């Protein structure tokens, strides 16, 4: 049956696939950055100091701003190949300074109450998913409906 959503060429779908990654990855980074900034960086600074991250005061500002602004750039598809690098670094630092000691799984049910499950600290699973998605975007580019695509079309269009 050729009248389904999947009847188009494979190339057409591959051009749209990065949009799906960009939307969730960009939103995710923005949400994480916003939470850190909206609660005030002091609490995040304490966490960084306890885990031994160098320069916790400045890092407590740089990391959430990178997440917030980098997430916005990913969401919009702007300079995706470049913006992905600092976001990957943030995920690796978080993974190796915090999550690695809790194992792989991001969801650890450690108890159950009448109000629902109690969860333990998350592992590094989510970090790896973000890193994989960002690497995929580096390889594929930002795809359709992106600032990168718009800039490439303008750059490659013949001058009149």
Domain count, the chain: 1
Q: Is residue 1 part of a domain?
A: no
Helices within the chain (DSSP H only): 10-38, 41-51, 56-76, 80-97, 125-140, 147-156
Residue 69 dihedral angles phi and psi, to the nearest 5°: -75, -40
Give the HSE-up count for residue 104: Cα atoms under 13 Å, Cβ half-sphere: 1
Per mean pLDDT, which of 41-50, 80-89, 106-115 is the most reliable? 80-89
Count of all residues that appear for the chain in the document: 160
Which residues have CB under 8 Å from 6's CB, separation 6+?
13
Encoded tokens for 10 = 């494979």
pLDDT tens across 1-44, in order?
444 555 556 666 778 889 999 999 999 999 999 999 999 899 99
Q: Is residue 160 part of a domain?
A: no
Domain of residue 45 covers 15-155
pTM of the model: 0.85
């Amino acid at each position: 049956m050729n009248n389904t959503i999947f009847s188009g060429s494979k190339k057409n779908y591959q051009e749209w696939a990065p949009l799906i990654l960009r939307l969730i990855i960009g939103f995710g980074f923005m949400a994480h950055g916003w939470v850190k900034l909206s609660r005030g960086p002091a609490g995040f600074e304490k966490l960084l100091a306890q885990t031994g991250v160098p320069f916790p005061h400045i890092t407590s500002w740089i990391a959430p701003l990178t997440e917030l602004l980098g997430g916005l750039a990913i969401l919009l598809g702007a300079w995706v190949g470049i913006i992905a690098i600092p976001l990957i670094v943030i995920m690796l630092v978080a993974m190796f300074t915090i999550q690695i000691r809790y194992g792989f799984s991001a969801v650890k049910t450690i108890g159950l109450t009448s109000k629902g499950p109690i969860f333990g600290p998350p592992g590094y699973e989510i970090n790896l998913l973000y890193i994989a998605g960002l690497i995929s975007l580096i390889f594929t580019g930002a795809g359709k409906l992106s600032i990168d695509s718009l800039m490439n079309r303008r750059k490659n269009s013949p001058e009149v």
